[in-house]
Structure 1
Amino acid sequence: MLAAAAVCPCPPLLVPEVAAGAADEAAGLREACLAAVRELAGTELVVVVGTGERAGVWTEGGAGSLHRYGVPKAVRLPLGGVAGPELSPALTVGAWLLEEAAVRVPTHAVAVRPDTAPERLLGLGRGLAELADRVGLLVLGDGSARRSVKAPGYLDERAEGHDRTVALALAGADAAALAALDAGLSAELMAEGRAPWQVLAGAAEGAGLAGELRYEDAPYGVGYLVASWR
């Protein structure tokens, strides 16, 4: 059963070596993420869920590289080796967060395609919740990348409302609201978090968790949300 979840965005700038001169600007976001991730320490199994170009599952270790960002550093899932293909960028950030937060719990990872249908994501979440008596999820995904004129996707007036809906759902541990997110709208708004959030929605069904919203902002025109469910 799902016992706890940490919801974090996954920009590479969370890693100070990648952010370089902008590391201080991301300090508040980074600390909120680490505080949420530390809540997973009391679980039996952590499953890291994020997007990837291809769907994939890592059950016996996995590693990701920050070389694509010009940083000669690799990170690994806790208590695992380097089995399987390289972790996706989102999962790599998740592995870094677990390492930085010193969460030493057996860990699996799942990559989902951003265009995966909600029904499949909800079913995946239900299955993940059955993997252990106390499952923790680290759910990685950004909100809309169309929050300002300088955003990667330019400004869309619907973006702020979309992200506010997600923020309220995360604050209230409202799995039904996350399950109801419109895949088409989220795609138009470049909100890649939609797919991982709906995995969480499936996993949280019947778990009776409470939510806490730890961070909500769009400093670079991209919605960043951090929450704890427990």
Structure 2
Amino acid sequence: MLVAAAVCPCPPLLVPEVATGAAPELHAARVACADALGLLAASRPDRLYVVGPAAEGALGPYPAGSTGSFAGFGVDLSVRLGAARPAGGRPGDDRSAGDRPLPASLAVAAWLLERTDWADAPVEGLGVGERLESGRCAAAGRELAASADRVALLVMGDGSACRSVKAPGYLDERAAPFDAEAARALGSADPDALLGLDENLAYELKAAGRAPWQVLAGAAQGAGLEGRLLYEDAPYGVGYFVAAWS
């Protein structure tokens, strides 16, 4: 059963070593992420799943011990997801997945976890394809929630990338309303509203968080969690949100 969740943005610029001048625009986001992960650890879960967008495939497991690197961003920095592989895993896990490098979103998550006084709960990752249908996202979330008595999720994902003319997707007038609805749903722990986000519109707005958020929605159905929005902004024209559910 899902007992807690943290939602964080996943730009590699969140990692100071990657960002020129440590990206002071993201300082408040880093602080909020640390607060959200602290609340997540306090829930004392039996298992933590880290969920984030991945370019390849529909759903891809990344066992504890999987490694990632920020070398592609010009930084000699490596991270590891969890200290070791868990004794048991989610049904259907491919243990050879530990040989694949973490996608950028899960590498950022691993970096965040390394800087948090995290509990000893096993950690596993799940990469979610950007075009994965809402129903499959929700089903994956329900499977994660049913895998242990006390499950926590760290959900990585960004909102639209079309909030300004300098944004990666240029300015789109639909972006701000989309992000406002996402922020409201994340801040109020509203699974139905998250599942109601239009997957085609999200794709057009380059909102990489849509699918991971809908995995969270599936996991949270019936859990009765309450949410708090800890951060909301759009530096660089991209919607970033931090939320804590408990």
Which of 90, 98, 102 aligns to 2:105? It is 90
Write the letter of the residue equivalent to 1:193. Answer: G
Q: Look up the match of 1:164.
A: 180
What is residue 9 of structure 2 aligned with on the other side?
9
Match status 1:33 vs 2:8: no
| CA–CA distance in structure 2, aligned partners of residues 60 and 183 of structure 1 | 29
Between 38-47 and 118-127, the greater mean CA deviation after superposition:
38-47
Alignment correspondent of 2:158? 142
SS at match of 1:83: helix
Moved more, 193-202 or 79-88: 79-88
Q: Which amino acid aligns with 2:71?
A: H
Q: Deviations over 1:163-184 (max 9, x none)?
A: 0001110111000000111101
Structure 1 unaligned segments of length 5 or more: list them: none
CA distance in 2: counterparts of 1:114 and 1:145, whole angstroms: 14
Q: Give the residue type in structure 2 aligned to 1:224.
A: Y
> Is residue 2:139 matched to residue 1:123?
yes
| Percent of pairs with identical residues | 54
TM-score normalized by the length of structure 1: 0.97
Judge conservation of contact 2:158–2:207 (CA < 8 Å) in 1: yes
Indicate yes or no: 2:78 matched with 1:63: no
Aligned residues: CA RMSD: 1.3
Paired residue total: 230
- The residue correspondences of 1:154-193 to structure 2 (distance < 5 A) are 154-193=170-209
CA deviation string 1:171-205 (max 9, x = no partner): 11000000111101111111010000000000000
Q: Relative to structure 1, is the Cα distance of residues 60 and 28 closer, same or farther in structure 2, using a 3 angstrom cutoff? A: closer
Give the CA deviation at 1:17. 0.6
Single out whichever of 211-220 and 74-83 deviates more from structure 2: 74-83
Is the contact made by 1:48 and 1:138 (CA closer than 8 Å) also made in structure 2? yes
1:206: Cα distance to partner? 0.5
Worse-matched range after superposition: 164-173 or 77-86: 77-86
Q: Name whichever of 182-191 and 80-89 sits farther off.
A: 80-89
Conservation of the 8 A alpha-carbon contact between 1:61 and 1:76: yes
Q: Tell me, what secondary structure is at the counterpart of 1:16?
A: coil
Rounded Cα–Cα distance in structure 2 between residues aligned with 1:98 and 1:34: 9
| Matched AA of 1:6 | A
Name the amino acid aligned to 2:3.
Answer: A
One-letter code aligned to 1:99: E
The CA distance in 2 between the partners of 1:151 and 1:40, in whole Å, is 31
Counterpart of 2:236?
220
Distance 2:155 2:243 in 1: 10
* Other-structure match for 2:54: 52
Q: Distance in 2 between matches of 1:38 and 1:131?
A: 23
Q: Deviations over 1:34-55 (max 9, x none)?
A: 1111222121111000011223
Task: Kindly indicate whether residue 211 of structure 2 is the aligned counterpart of residue 195 of structure 1.
Answer: yes
Determine helix, strand or coil for the equivalent of 1:43. Answer: coil
- For normalisation by structure 2, the TM-score amounts to 0.91
